[in-house]
């Protein structure tokens, strides 16, 4: 086959340059290559808070907002300080039972700690501490912050908790009903998981000491059905259903 005419050769070369968007010298078109990288999930480490009668975990978000870490430290320092004051120099100890990061994403971190408060009585008392942190807003969230303003979230959690506790061994209806009345103080210990919200109750709040600190689980699907999932969906960065 013969060589194409000179004009056709130039046209083909120009077309190839336009299609590929590359080349050298004047007239070359360079299109930037763009990539999308998902934000890395947060990491929580557990330091220690220690004193004469306490040794407890201190959750801290690695490279997280200073305001969040400072707020967690302040809250647990107060817990430890109050315990030391109550002892008034007597025997006793505040120690760790368990610690758990229930959720850690690029947007939100949720942590639950159970402590053992021993003041020399017949038995030590478990003590629950929970933290939910909005990393973007650099703040700790109160339970009410997880739901739409003026919504019926307390009544909904009360109903869900009573139904689940009724199936728990050692259930005492009168105690459980009082401990799950739709009041903010009864729903202080909320944590977030990948697919559900958890409510943990204090010792004796919803039953005898043998019941411990029971936790009930409220799925995000049920919150969505009740119209209560909007704020949590925003924290997780995805619709809840």
Q: How far apart are CA 178 and CA 158, in angstroms?
A: 10
Q: How much is the pTM?
A: 0.83
Q: How far apart are CA 232 and CA 145, in angstroms?
A: 9
Q: What is the pLDDT of residues 20-78, one digit of tens each?
A: 444 444 444 555 554 545 689 999 999 999 999 999 999 999 999 999 999 999 999 99
Report the mean per-residue pLDDT for the chain: 88
Domains and CATH numbers, the chain: 40-141 (3.30.565.40), 142-241 (3.90.640.20)
């Amino acid at each position: 086959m013969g060589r194409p005419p000179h004009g056709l050769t130039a046209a083909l070369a120009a077309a190839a340059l336009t299609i590929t968007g590359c080349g050298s010298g004047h007239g070359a078109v360079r299109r930037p290559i763009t990539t999308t990288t998902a934000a890395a999930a947060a990491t929580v480490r557990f330091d220690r808070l220690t004193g004469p009668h306490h040794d407890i975990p201190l959750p801290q978000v690695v490279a997280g907002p200073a305001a969040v870490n400072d707020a967690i430290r302040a809250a647990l320092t107060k817990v430890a300080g109050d315990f030391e004051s109550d002892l008034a120099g007597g025997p006793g100890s505040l120690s760790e039972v368990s610690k758990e990061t229930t959720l850690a994403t690029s947007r939100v971190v949720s942590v639950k700690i159970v402590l053992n408060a021993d003041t020399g009585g017949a038995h030590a008392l478990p003590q629950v501490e929970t933290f939910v942190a909005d990393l973007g807003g650099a703040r700790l969230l109160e339970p009410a912050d997880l739901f739409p303003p003026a919504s019926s979230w307390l009544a909904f959690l009360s109903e869900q908790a009573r139904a689940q506790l009724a199936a728990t061994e050692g259930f005492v209806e009168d105690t459980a009903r009082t401990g799950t009345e739709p009041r903010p103080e009864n729903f202080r210990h909320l944590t977030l998981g990948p697919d559900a919200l958890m409510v943990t109750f204090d010792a004796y709040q919803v039953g005898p000491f043998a019941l411990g600190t029971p936790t009930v689980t409220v799925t995000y699907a049920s919150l969505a059905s009740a119209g209560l999932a909007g704020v949590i969906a925003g924290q997780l960065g995805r619709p809840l259903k």
